[in-house]
């Protein structure tokens, strides 16, 4: 533990990368996942098929292989993130970070899609019918009536998906992002005698972050429950 306390800024900075990975991938995965969910429940057969194939593919592939694809295979096809070079304070966001965000976002979006779809299925059919009967086109039916209600039913499963994402950011350690787990390894390398307490320090970090996500999800859930009761 002493090793971590001695270099606490490094500990915090590492979790800073974890938080950045989580927030950026979280937002992107929610956006892509929403589009995918709309495609899967929509009236266009081709889009339904595309979204279904995408979801099965990403959901059934281990995350580390998605990372490996964007780290090693995608560059062969000209998909590179070398252009990315942003610094905010002590944080440098480079190609590794870009590839990690893309991998995490695409992977997580498949789960977001399924969480939202279960929410859509929880919305009674009559809601969409009433919206169609008013003359709303498909897009309006979805954005005005179905998705807002689906989002409510989806908050608990979406929270689980986002918590999984938070922990999945650790895979980025293997691909050159200096996030928490990568920092933990470097602490371990220098202080082999403190392995257990170093692990404990990082577990505490993750627990705190997960609790923050749970807290916000519980608040969202409560707020929406009150208004519809």
Partner 1 sequence: MTALDKNPDPGATRAPGEPLVVLSGVDKWYGDLHVLQDINLSVRQGEVVVVIGPSGSGKSTLCRTINRLETIDRGSITLEGRPLPQEGKALAQLRAEVGMVFQSFNLFAHKTILENVTLGPTKVRRQPKAEADKRAHELLERVGVAHQAAKYPAQLSGGQQQRVAIARALAMDPKVMLFDEPTSALDPEMISEVLEVMVDLARRGMTMIVVTHEMGFARTAADRVVFMADGAIAEENDPESFFTAPQTPRAQDFLGKILKH
Q: Which residues bind partner 1 (CB under 8 A)?
A: 124, 126-127, 129-137, 140, 144-145, 148-149, 152, 224, 227-229
Measured in degrees and rounded to the nearest 5, phi and psi for residue 92 equal -115, 125
CB atoms within 10 A of CB 54: 18
Instruction: Check: CB of residue 218 under 8 Å from CB of residue 153.
Output: no
CB 36 within 8 A of CB 109: yes
Closest CB 76 distance from partner 1, rounded Å: 42
Choice between 130 and 200, CB closer to partner 1: 130
- Smallest gap from Cβ 32 to partner 1, in A, equals 24
Q: Please check whether residue 168 is in contact with residue 100, taking contact to mean a CB–CB distance below 8 angstroms.
A: no
CA 87 to CA 189: how far, in whole Å? 27
Residue 86, phi then psi, degrees to nearest 5: -120, 135
**Which one-letter DSSP state was computed for residue 134?**
T
Query: What is the nearest approach in angstroms of partner 1 to the Cβ of residue 114?
Result: 22
Residues 30, 119, 226, CA angle at the centre, nearest 5°? Answer: 95
- State which residue, 86 or 134, has the beta carbon closest to partner 1: 134
Q: Which is nearer to partner 1, 36 or 141 (CB)?
A: 141
Pairwise CA distance, residues 129 & 82, whole Å: 48
Q: Report the residue number, 62 or 139, with the smaller CB distance to partner 1.
A: 139
- Nearer of residues 108 and 149 to partner 1, judged by Cβ: 149
Q: Minimum CB separation from partner 1 for residue 115, in Å? A: 18
Pull the structure tokens for residue 107: 């992977």
Which residue's CB is nearer to partner 1, number 195 or number 223?
Answer: 223
**Smallest gap, in angstroms, from Cβ of residue 37 to partner 1?**
17
In terms of Cα–Cα distance, which of 93, 78, 82 is closest to 24?
93
Q: Return the CA Rg of the chain.
A: 20
Minimum distance between the CB of residue 229 and partner 1, rounded to whole angstroms?
6
């Amino acid at each position: 533990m002493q090793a971590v306390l001695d270099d606490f800024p490094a500990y915090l900075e590492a979790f800073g990368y974890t938080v950045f990975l989580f927030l950026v991938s979280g937002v992107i995965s929610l956006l892509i996942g929403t589009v995918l969910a709309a495609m899967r429940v929509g009236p266009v057969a081709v889009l339904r098929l595309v979204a279904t194939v995408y979801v099965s593919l990403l959901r059934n592939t281990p995350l580390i292989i998605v990372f490996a694809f964007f780290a090693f295979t995608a560059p062969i096809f000209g998909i590179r993130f070398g252009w990315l070079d942003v610094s905010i304070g002590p944080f440098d966001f480079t190609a590794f970070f870009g590839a990690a965000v893309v991998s995490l976002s695409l992977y997580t979006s498949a789960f977001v899609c399924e969480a939202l779809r279960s929410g859509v299925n929880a919305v009674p059919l009559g809601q969409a019918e009433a919206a169609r009967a008013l003359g709303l086109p498909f897009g309006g039916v979805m954005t005005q009536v179905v998705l807002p209600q689906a989002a409510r039913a989806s908050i608990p499963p979406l929270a689980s998906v986002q918590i999984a994402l938070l922990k999945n950011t650790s895979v980025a350690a293997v691909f050159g992002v200096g996030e928490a787990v990568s920092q933990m390894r470097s602490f371990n390398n220098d202080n082999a005698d403190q392995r257990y307490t170093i692990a404990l320090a990082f577990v505490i970090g993750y627990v705190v972050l997960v609790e923050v996500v749970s807290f916000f999800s519980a608040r969202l859930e409560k707020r929406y429950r009150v208004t519809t009761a």
